[in-house]
Structure 1
Amino acid sequence: VPFLDICNTLLDPSLPLTMLDHDEFGDPRTKPQFDFLRSYSPYDNILSGVCYPSMLVTASFLDS
């Protein structure tokens, strides 16, 4: 399953895996790490007026 909204997900401590994900991806509560995460976050890099190709993203019920 793609991890699309990296910054908002990692900033939400109510999500069950957020603190564990900080070990893997970084902690966006620090500006340098936030800037780095935002630089490659798909959700944060959608540009207005750009015609992106269609995508089909699927996942299995048992994907984790």
Structure 2
Amino acid sequence: MKTEDKIIGFTVILGLFYWIVDSVLNYFFLFYEGSLLEMMLLDVPINILYLRSLVFIL
């Protein structure tokens, strides 16, 4: 496996880890009224979706 592939794989995993941790923190500490699955994927507020997408892309 090339070094470039390892770096890309690591950054994708890191981005997904950030997405999950941010979802859990928002769910527990911002008192979101839906389920955790909704906060992660199904009903994400647009401002949070923007921030997560930006971090994931960078």
TM-score calculated relative to the size of structure 2: 0.27
TM-score calculated relative to the size of structure 1: 0.25
Structure number with the higher helix fraction is: 2
